[in-house]
Amino acid sequence: MLRSGNDAAVALAEYVGGSVQGFADLMNKKAEELGLSNTHFVTPHGLDDSNHYTTALELAKLTDYAMQNEKFAKIVGTKSTTININGYPRQINNTNELLGVLNGVVGVKTGFTNNAGRCLVTEVKKDGMDIITVVLGADTKKDRTKDSVKLIKYTYSNYKMYNVREKIEEQFNNWRDINTDRIQIIKGKGDTMNLKLGDISVYLLPLQDTKIDTLECEFNTITVVEAPVEEKTKIGTMVVKLDGKIIDTIDIINTNKIEKKTWLDYLKTLVKKIYLCLN
């Protein structure tokens, strides 16, 4: 990984997959699991082959997955190391020219073939935001470095992390205050639900300042329900949109149990009404 050793990649592929083809099959299976529909592997080192391909977006997705592996992250984040060959020490250096030079860079990998040109996938962690940039097809190392730096600087200059969870909860609370009493409960001992949101999958998002104001929530709930109503009963959904695109769909749940009225409850109600009329 540090020296882009194609021979080492083949040796590892044969050890893990039994053969280069066997390892490629394993890689393609993993690509399918990750939903990388525009990626196909033939070799472990990526040298030019018409059936070996991917995209910038899917390289970013693959990198995001790979960086969750602590061993992988440690290797691609290592600037240099010393190995021993037949008892003689040899220093090998990472080919990533941004590692240890640009603040926040933690990896990931350089690449070059005649068809692909100079390539660089970079991950940066700083200011509470983790980004991955992908540069493909550069003419020189200098170009790929320059373009990568431009992408990184642009992103950190124009985006920041927003806690969309807070805005989602705020909009739900406003809706609940107005609409809880509008849900009619038929034949219930109680007439009010205790509504709350289910699991919110979206927390922090990198957004431009103008985009946070495009967050909107649509509510789809029942308006009439017949008792009994059990705890944790789903009564609808909250659809969260950002810039018109759905980013989350959250269940709206009733948390209190509402029992069904018995004949005795109706009798008590009737007696109470008669008493009020007479007095």
Phi then psi dihedrals of residue 238, to 5 deg: -120, 115
Instruction: Tell me what pLDDT residue 137 has.
Output: 96
Helices 6-17, 20-33: crossing angle, 10 deg rounding: 80
Distance CA 60, CA 38 (A): 13
Percentage, residues of the chain above pLDDT 90: 71
Asked whether residue 270 carries a pLDDT value surpassing 70, the answer given is no
Q: Are the C-beta atoms of residues 185 and 229 closer than 8 Å to each other?
A: yes
Architecture of domain 6-158: 3-Layer(aba) Sandwich (3.40)
Task: Name 48's Cβ contacts closer than 8 Å, sequence gap at least 6.
Answer: 113, 114, 115, 116
Domain ranges of the chain: 6-158, 162-263
What confidence tens digit (pLDDT) does each residue in 175-219 have?
A: 999 998 888 888 878 778 889 999 999 888 899 888 888 999 999
DSSP track, the chain: --S--HHHHHHHHHHHHSSHHHHHHHHHHHHHHTT-TT-B-S-SS--S-TT-B--HHHHHHHHHHHTTSHHHHHHHT-SEEEEEETTEEEEEE---TTTTTSTTEEEEEEEEETTTEEEEEEEEEETTEEEEEEEEEESSHHHHHHHHHHHHHHHHHH-EEEEHHHHHHHHHHHHHHHHGGGSEEETBS-----EEE------EEEE-TTTGGGEEEEEEE-SEEESPB-TTEEEEEEEEEETTEEEEEEEEEE-S-BPBP-HHHHHHHHHHHHHHHH-
Contacts (Cβ under 8 Å, ≥6 apart) of 210: none
CA-nearest of 158, 1, 172, 3 to 72 is 1
Q: What is the pLDDT of the chain when averaged over all its residues?
A: 92
Does the pLDDT value for residue 115 go beyond 70?
A: yes
How far is the C-alpha of 183 from the C-alpha of 141, rounded, in Å? 64
On whether the 162-263 domain is CATH 3.40.50.970, my answer is: no
Whole-prediction pTM: 0.77
Distances (CA, A) of 209 to 66, 201, 216, 246: 30, 22, 15, 19
pLDDT greater than 70 at residue 265: no
Residue % of the chain over a pLDDT of 70? 97
Whole-number pLDDT of residue 266? 62
Q: What's residue 212's pLDDT?
A: 85
**Which residue's structure tokens are 């789809």?**
220
